[in-house]
C-alpha cells in the first residue's frame, strides 16, 4: 500500500512565547513548522532508524507525540539518505505527517570515538554495519539532512570527550564554531529554507562559563531558526550539567526555540525547563521499555520482578494509555518473563505516554505558577 501524506503547508518557522513562570525562566510556547505546531516545552521520541521502536505513527500521535527525532548517521548507513529522498523523504518514508528533527551525527562521533578519527575538515567513522569508512563533513552532513527532508536539521558539531578538560573543550568548541559557519553557508547556498527546512546551531563549551558564553554568541550571530545546547549528560555530574545549562540557555534568543540534546530523566527535564529550555529528546522511555522498566507516578518499576506475578492492578493508576487501561501488572510480567515482544511494545507505549503526560504537567504548572509542587512530586516518585 502506498502511503500518501498531506503536503506540508507553506509556513515559516516561528516561535511564540505563550506564558512564563513567575519564579524561574520556565516558559510555554508554540513552535510552528511546515508540518505542524509543537506546544512547548515538548518531548521528542527518538526514531533512530526512521522508527520509534515498537510503535506505529498512529499510536505515537494518539499518545501525544507532536515531533519526532531521526538519526542522520544511522540512516546514512541504512538505507542511505538518497534512498529516503527517492522514496519521498522521511515523512512519507515513515508514514509520519508531523514535524521531524534530524540530528547531525555529532553525538555518534562522541559515542563511537573508538571508531572515528577527527580532523579540521570533518570526521571519518567506521560503519557499525560493515566496517567501511563513512566520511562526515559539515557540508556533507547538511546534504544528507536535506535529502532526508526533516523539518529541523542540525549543524555538525564536535562534542568534547571530557567536558571538564579545558584544553579539549576549548578546541572542540572552536571547531564547532568553524563547522557551524560552513554548515550555515552551505545550507543557504542549497536553499534549505526554500525547501521548508530550518537549521539549528549547537552550543558547546563543556562546564566552562566563558566558553559556553562565547559559543552562544558565535551561534546566535548566524540568526538561525533555533539553537541547541550540546555536550551535556556526557559524563559530568548533575551539578556540572546544571551549570552548563545556566551558562547557555538564558542567553539564547527568547524568540527562538531552545533545544537540550539527549537528556532523559524527569528531574533533569525540570531543571532545564526552569532555565528556559523548550525541546528535549532521549531514548530513555523506549530503551527502558525494551528492558521491561516502566516510569510511573509511583516510581520506576521492573516488571520482571516476582512481586508482580499475581498483581491485578494497572501498571500506573494515574495513566490513560492502552497499557494501563487494558492490562494488569501480572499480565505484563507474564509477557516480560515469557520473552513476548508485546511486553516491550506495551511498556514502550506507556513510557512514551508517561513522558508526554509529564510535559503536559510542565506546561500546565508553568501557566498556573505551580512548578515547585510539581518538582516535589517528581522527586518523590522518581528520585
pLDDT (tens, 9 = 90+) of the chain, 383 residues, equals: 343 444 444 568 999 999 999 999 999 999 999 999 999 999 999 999 999 999 999 999 999 999 999 999 999 999 999 999 999 999 999 999 999 999 998 878 877 778 889 999 999 998 889 999 999 999 999 999 999 999 999 999 999 988 999 999 999 999 999 999 999 999 999 999 999 999 999 999 999 999 999 999 999 999 999 999 998 877 677 888 898 999 999 999 999 999 999 898 999 999 999 999 999 999 999 999 999 999 999 999 999 999 999 999 999 999 999 999 999 999 999 999 999 999 999 999 999 999 999 999 999 999 999 999 999 999 998 76
Comparing CA positions, the residue from 217, 291, 284, 282 lying closest to residue 252 is 217
Helix (H) / strand (E) element for 70: namely strand 68-71
- For residue 2, give the C-alpha cell: 502506498
Residue with cell 534530524: 102
Q: Residue 10 has what pLDDT?
A: 53
Q: How far apart are CA 26 and CA 150, in angstroms?
A: 27
CB 26 within 8 A of CB 89: no
Helix (H) / strand (E) element for 244: namely helix 238-246
- To the nearest 10 degrees (0 to 180), the angle between helices 341-368 and 371-382 is 150
How much is the pTM?
0.95
Q: How far apart are CA 163 and CA 20, in angstroms?
A: 31
Supply the DSSP symbol for 101.
E
**How much is the CA Rg of the chain, to the nearest whole Å?**
20
Q: Residue 8 has what pLDDT?
A: 47
Q: How far apart are CA 287 and CA 307, in angstroms?
A: 23
> Which CATH number among 3.20.20.70, 3.20.20.105, 3.20.20.370, 3.40.50.300 corresponds to the domain 19-282?
3.20.20.105
Residue with cell 533555533: 226
How many other CB atoms sit within 10 Å of the CB of residue 204? 34
Catalytic site positions: 103, 281
Q: How far apart are CA 79 and CA 265, in angstroms?
A: 31
Q: Please name the residues in contact with 142: beta carbons below 8 A apart, sequence gap of 6 or more.
A: 153, 155, 156, 183, 186, 187, 190, 192, 199
Q: Residue 235 has what pLDDT?
A: 67
CB 354 within 8 A of CB 298: no
Q: Where along the chain do its domains lie?
A: 19-282, 289-382
Q: Residue 11 has what pLDDT?
A: 60
For 256-333, strand residue ranges (E) read 258-260, 279-282, 293-296, 299-302
Residue 18, SS3?
strand
Q: Residue 161 has what pLDDT?
A: 86
Residue 267, SS3?
helix
Region of residue 177 (left: phi > 0; alpha: psi -120 to 50; beta: else)? alpha
Amino acid at each position: 500500500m502506498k502511503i500518501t501524506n498531506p503536503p506540508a503547508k507553506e509556513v515559516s518557522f516561528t516561535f511564540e512565547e505563550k506564558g512564563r513562570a513567575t519564579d524561574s525562566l520556565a516558559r510555554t510556547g508554540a513552535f510552528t513548522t511546515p508540518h505542524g505546531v509543537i506546544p512547548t516545552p515538548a518531548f521528542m521520541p527518538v526514531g533512530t532508524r526512521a522508527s520509534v521502536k515498537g510503535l506505529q505513527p498512529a499510536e505515537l500521535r494518539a499518545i501525544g507525540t507532536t515531533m519526532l527525532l531521526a538519526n542522520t548517521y544511522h540512516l546514512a548507513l541504512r538505507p542511505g539518505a538518497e534512498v529516503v529522498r527517492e522514496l519521498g523523504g522521511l515523512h512519507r518514508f515513515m508514514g509520519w505527517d508531523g514535524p521531524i528533527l534530524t540530528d547531525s551525527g555529532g553525538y555518534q562521533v562522541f559515542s563511537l570515538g573508538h571508531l572515528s578519527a577527527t580532523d579540521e575538515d570533518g570526521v571519518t567513522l567506521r560503519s557499525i554495519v560493515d566496517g567501511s569508512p563513512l566520511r562526515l563533513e559539515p557540508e556533507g552532513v547538511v546534504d544528507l539532512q536535506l535529502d532526508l527532508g526533516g523539518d529541523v536539521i542540525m549543524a555538525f558539531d564536535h562534542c568534547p570527550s571530557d567536558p571538564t578538560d579545558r584544553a579539549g573543550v576549548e578546541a572542540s568548541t572552536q571547531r564547532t564554531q568553524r563547522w557551524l559557519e560552513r554548515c550555515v553557508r552551505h545550507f543557504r547556498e542549497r536553499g534549505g529554507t526554500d525547501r521548508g527546512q530550518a537549521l539549528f546551531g549547537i552550543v558547546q563549551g563543556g562546564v566552562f562559563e566563558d566558553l559556553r558564553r562565547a559559543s552562544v554568541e558565535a551561534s546566535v550571530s548566524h540568526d538561525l531558526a533555533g539553537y541547541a545546547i550540546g555536550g551535556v549528560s556526557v559524563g559530568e555530574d548533575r551539578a556540572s550539567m546544571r551549570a552548563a545549562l545556566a551558562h547557555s540557555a538564558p542567553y539564547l534568543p527568547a524568540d527562538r526555540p531552545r533545544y537540550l540534546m539527549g537528556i532523559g530523566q524527569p528531574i533533569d527535564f525540570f531543571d532545564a525547563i526552569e532555565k528556559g529550555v523548550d525541546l528535549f529528546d532521549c531514548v530513555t522511555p523506549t530503551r527502558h521499555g525494551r528492558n521491561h522498566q516502566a516510569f510511573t507516578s509511583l516510581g520506576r518499576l521492573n516488571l520482571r520482578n516476582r512481586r508482580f506475578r499475581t498483581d491485578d492492578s494497572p501498571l500506573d493508576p494515574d495513566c490513560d494509555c492502552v497499557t494501563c487501561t487494558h492490562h494488569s501488572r501480572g499480565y505484563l510480567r507474564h509477557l516480560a518473563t515469557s520473552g513476548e515482544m508485546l511486553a516491550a511494545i506495551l511498556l514502550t507505549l506507556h513510557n512514551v505516554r508517561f513522558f508526554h503526560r509529564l510535559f503536559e504537567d510542565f506546561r500546565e504548572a508553568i501557566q498556573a505558577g505551580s512548578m515547585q509542587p510539581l518538582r516535589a512530586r517528581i522527586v518523590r516518585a522518581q528520585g
